[in-house]
């Protein structure tokens, strides 16, 4: 039986591990032809999304390989605890370059191809930090606020072409990026497990499944939104 994304082309960055890898697998399982990108891992193209001009190149390659582009998911991202006092400019700039500027560039460069698609979809990866702050996450929190704002403005601009733009806002997800913190600080893991109404950390597939929904026709009238996928953590104090 054909999947709900059969015949559609997707470009996923950060696809070497974690949420990006799960997303690439899920979109492919639903029938999409996926062009996967990361700096490492088993992907179609190794690339640093912060390099000038690379995102336009990736879009062109995805279009050439699959004959068009329907779905764009910028999953590449970084995060680490960094106290505000003594926070150096270089790390802040790096977080913004990966989490915001690269997302902006990919969306911008994908627009011409997406305008040609009858099923244009952009799904960004934000965070619950786009609504709530937390100590040690100044750069990360700022970047995820920016991603949500970018998402909502892009949705307004691209709506006339039928392109939807939405933002997934995960809670605490167990990925290679977060694993060091959960391993080094067991109390950190326990805190988020207890905070979630569902009583566990999220897994990459929990996010990828919602991304696949937003990429499908089932979500055709949903745009400009930020969706919490956090196991009910933000409902509890």
Residues annotated catalytic, as ranges: 140
> What number of H helices and E strands is found in the chain?
8, 7
Q: Sign of dihedral through CA atoms 209, 104, 5, 164?
A: positive
First to last CA, the chain: 44
- For residues 58 and 12, is the Cβ–Cβ distance under 8 A? no
Q: Which two tokens stand for residue 107?
A: 């969306």
Q: Give the C-alpha separation, 98 to 207, whole Å.
A: 20
Q: Give the whole-angstrom CA distance, residue 136 versus residue 122.
A: 29
User: Strand pairing partners for 34?
Assistant: 10
């Amino acid at each position: 039986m054909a999947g709900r994304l059969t015949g559609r082309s997707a470009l996923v960055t950060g696809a070497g591990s974690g949420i990006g890898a799960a997303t690439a697998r899920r979109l492919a399982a639903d029938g999409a032809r996926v062009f996967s990108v990361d700096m490492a891992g088993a992907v179609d193209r190794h690339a640093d999304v912060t390099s000038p001009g690379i995102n336009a190149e990736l879009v062109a390659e995805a279009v050439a390989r699959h004959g068009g582009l329907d779905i764009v998911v910028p999953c590449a991202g970084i995060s680490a605890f960094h106290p505000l006092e003594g926070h150096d400019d270089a790390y802040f700039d790096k977080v913004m370059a990966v989490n915001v500027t690269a997302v902006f560039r990919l969306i911008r460069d994908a627009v011409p191809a997406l305008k040609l698609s009858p099923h244009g979809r952009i799904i960004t990866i934000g965070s619950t930090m786009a609504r709530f702050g937390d100590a040690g996450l100044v750069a990360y929190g700022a970047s995820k606020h920016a991603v949500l704002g970018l998402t909502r403005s892009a949705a307004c601009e691209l709506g006339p072409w039928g392109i939807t733009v939405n933002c997934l806002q995960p809670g605490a997800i167990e990925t290679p990026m977060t694993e060091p913190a959960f391993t080094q600080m067991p109390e950190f893991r326990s805190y988020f497990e207890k905070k979630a109404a569902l009583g566990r950390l999220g897994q990459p597939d929990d996010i990828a499944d919602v991304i696949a929904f937003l990429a499908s026709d089932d979500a055709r009238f949903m745009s400009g939104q930020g969706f919490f996928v956090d196991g009910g953590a933000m409902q509890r104090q």
